[in-house]
Amino acid sequence: MKEATRRQRLDMLNGPIWNKLPQFALPVAATAILGQLFNAADIAVVGNFTGAEKTIAVAAVGANSSVIGLIINLFIGIGIGCNVVIAHAIGRGDRDAVHKAVHTSVVVAVIGGIIVGLLGQLIAAPLLGMLNVPDEVFPLALLYLRIYLTGLPVILLYNFEAAIFRSVGETKTPLVALTISGLLNVALNLFFVAVLNMSVSGVAIATVISNAVSSVILFVKLRRTELDIHLDPKKLRIDLPILRRILGIGLPAGVQSSLFAVSNIVIQSAINSLGTVVMAASSAAFNIEILTFDIIDAFSQACTTFVGQNYGAGKIDRCKKTLKLCMLEGLIALVTAIAILLFFGKPLLSIFNNDPEVVETGYIRMMYVMFSHVFNLLYNVMSGYLRGFSISLTPAILTMLGVCGVRIAWIRYVFPLSATFKTIMIAYPVSLGITALMIFAALLYYRPSKRFAGTRDEV
């Protein structure tokens, strides 16, 4: 049993790297894609089983994507902090620090979910109001958001548990857990909406239940694993020094991820001003184009984790190789995915809404956003590399300027000059290209492979 458990763990410190990066990244991408299918299943079901209100229902679910992304991305970033702290500790061979980080992370996920869920209930209506959600969409959008916020503790718990598994290179277990809960989500969606004639409330409840199942599965797996990340419920407590390290790395990473959501909220507000059809088209396209971002994020996480462990072990040359290989292999995977999704783009869009105008508008968004994801890959992998060396604040600041700042300025000053959907979409390649250049400049400035050559992480 112990030998089998050891084989589960991906050895990031020895042997070739090129073949291990896909072993890590592809399950992570598949897990994220499956998670996105939760929202896609919600939209597909309400778009096909809610009769005359289908366009309004689809718009209501889609209107929440940027708000939900803001919350989830913040905590996923903090989860990355957990990942890096554990990876450093594994590289140093410090099992005590690993155990403390694991138990601290689980507690933070649950408490954070409860606090943010309660605060979210208070500001849900004003927040949707700021997004210019049309009056006919607002009640359903608010209902969906309130139900989703209720399930936030279990949703965040799953994400932190998945980060714990990934810190030791075990990426298949989160994928299996989410596969089970994903199938359950689709079944519950159909039951609540097609059988019980519920609307967005049914798909929201299904999403919460399925996330609860996935978090319970990973909790049980952590209890039973013989890896260093074994979880003992009796030891569940917050270790303040470990928490400070997790937040020191994870909070800037979370802010960096959330700034994408903040900028998307600004863009969503402009999209909402163009009417229900454009809202529905944008929502449908988002659920397809996000698949390419999941590939980008997977290679970014791979870069962070591999660099984190090798930095902890003092193997700086392997850190540099990881950066180059993540760029190359990530680009191959991304271009392949873009080609496939654009080829089947219109049939895929029609799954969510078969209105010809919605399909055509959605395809316009897919082309603009997907091609801009080449810049996104460069930016995210370089950011992941810096985070592996515990350099997390600088990428967050540059993201605020390059992504959030540029997009806000674009919507504020450029969009009013030509209030069209294409004008909004141009903000994506412009902002991501500028951000990639700034992160590259930061990489040249810090040169972490030289700065930390021959050193080990002392924390």
Q: For 313-352, how does the pLDDT look when each residue is reduced to its tens digit (9 = 90+)? A: 889 999 999 999 999 999 999 999 999 999 999 999 998 7
- 31-63 exposure pattern, b = at least 16 Cβ within 10 A, e = fewer: bbbbbbbbbbbbbbbbbbbbeeebbbbbbbbbb
* Mean pLDDT along residues 239-253: 91
Give the least confident one: 70-79, 157-166, 270-279, 419-428.
Answer: 70-79
- Quote the crossing angle between the two packed helices 316-343 and 345-352, to the nearest 10°: 80
The C-alpha atoms of residue 9 and residue 236 are separated, in whole angstroms, by 23
Whether the Cβ atoms of residue 255 and residue 395 lie closer than 8 Å to each other: no
Average predicted confidence (pLDDT) for the chain: 87
Q: Is the pTM of this model over 0.85?
A: no
Compare 144 and 2 and report the one with higher pLDDT.
144
Q: For 105-155, how does the pLDDT look when each residue is reduced to its tens digit (9 = 90+)? A: 999 999 999 999 999 899 888 888 877 777 888 888 899 899 999 999 999
Q: For 195-215, how does the pLDDT look when each residue is reduced to its tens digit (9 = 90+)? A: 888 888 888 899 899 999 999
The residues, ordered by sequence, that sit 6+ positions from 98 with a Cβ below 8 Å of its Cβ are: 86, 89, 90, 228, 229
pLDDT of residue 457: 41
Whether the Cβ atoms of residue 386 and residue 239 lie closer than 8 Å to each other: no
CA atoms within 13 A on the CB side of 300: 26
- Residue 276's CB is within 10 A of a number of other CB atoms, namely 17
* Mean pLDDT along residues 364-388: 94
Please count the residues of the chain.
459
The C-alpha atoms of residue 138 and residue 15 are separated, in whole angstroms, by 55
- Is the pLDDT at 48 greater than 80? The verdict is no
- Is the pLDDT at 3 greater than 60? The verdict is no
* Mean pLDDT along residues 385-409: 91
pLDDT of residue 38: 66
Sort 1 into a burial class: Cβ within 10 Å, 0-12 / 13-18 / 19+: exposed
The C-alpha atoms of residue 374 and residue 256 are separated, in whole angstroms, by 18
* Mean pLDDT along residues 417-421: 93
